[in-house]
Amino acid sequence: MSIQESPNPQRPRLLLHTALAPAMRERLQLQFELLEAAGVGSAWRSELCGQVRAMLCNAQSIVSREQMRQWPALELIVVVGVGRDGIDLEAAAELGIKVSRAPDVCAEDVADHTLALLLAATRQIVQAHEFVRQGRWPQGRYPPTLRFSGRRMGIVGLGRIGRAVARRSQAFDMSIAYTGRAPKNDVPYRWCDSVLELAADVDFLVVCASGGPATRGLIDACVLQALGPQGVLVNVGRGSIVDEAALQQALQERTIAAAALDVFAHEPQVSEVLTGLPNTVLTPHMASSTLQGLQDLFAQAEAHLLAHFGLAPHTV
């Protein structure tokens, strides 16, 4: 709904902090009054502040305590995605605002992307592609790369995504070890007490952990040193988990062999050092972004909204 449209008091007002596909927008408009957060100025906000009851965000959205207080009627924040790092969860709990997300939908897509990144980094797929495109093959063969199958996989954070990565890795005859908040009783993989212990005992270190203060800078210079000169780091968790300055130095000095990253400390800005290094594979926070996955995410977000407000799904 644009700010010029007349409101329909029969439908809950939903503030959008994320773009919607036309089909999804049409579906939500049948049940909700939609407001674009970017189009709500201060004057209009004062008129609406007691009427907005829900927000729809994405995993990159920032919703602070101050923002929540601007909407005193807010009951629900729905995040289209797995991460809720940008949502002040403590403030939401204090203010009685429920925060929903779709944790199950994207795990398989992220795991697929993780193995693709790791394969690309170890077998140097991107670099070899450019080697052929640039016409360098007639001057000599491409140098040998690292073996992928039968290696030692270490996973930081054995949640839904970490487990999906482990299952795929077993198909490549890898041994699996992991670390996290606590050991899991329902998996056969080897537990390590610390990320430093894990890094010292694996070839591939895959970061699937959540962001936040507890994991900030967890992958530091000591961990990278322990991973070693044939080790490969993959990060599909959060950019804050890896000390980027330490990683850049480790890659420059060949303390580790390579890094494959889908998340970054200051995304969408990416360090020129990282983009200029030959032993990196970099993707733009797209591990969960498949057409089918996004459809599933929005469907689950819609289900959260309808369930909260006691609305029945629209049928054609």
Q: Are 297 and 83 spatial neighbours (Cβ–Cβ below 8 Å)? A: no
Q: Are 221 and 189 spatial neighbours (Cβ–Cβ below 8 Å)? A: no
Categorise residue 285: left if φ over 0, alpha if ψ from -120 to 50, beta otherwise. Answer: left
* Exposure letters 195-231 (e unless 16+ CB within 10 A, then b): bbbbbbebbbbbbbbbbeeebebbbbeebbbbbeeeb
3-state secondary structure of 257: coil
Strands (E), the chain: 13-16, 33-36, 52-58, 76-80, 98-100, 152-156, 175-179, 190-191, 204-207, 232-235, 258-261, 280-282
Report long-range pairs for 192-195 (Cβ below 8 Å, ≥24 apart).
192/154, 195/156, 195/219, 195/223
Largest Cα span, the chain: 72
**Cα(248)–Cα(56) distance, integer angstroms:** 36
Show which residues are catalytic: 238, 267, 285
Q: Which of 129, 161, 160 is nearest to 142 (CA)?
A: 129
Task: Provide the 8-state DSSP code for 240.
Answer: G
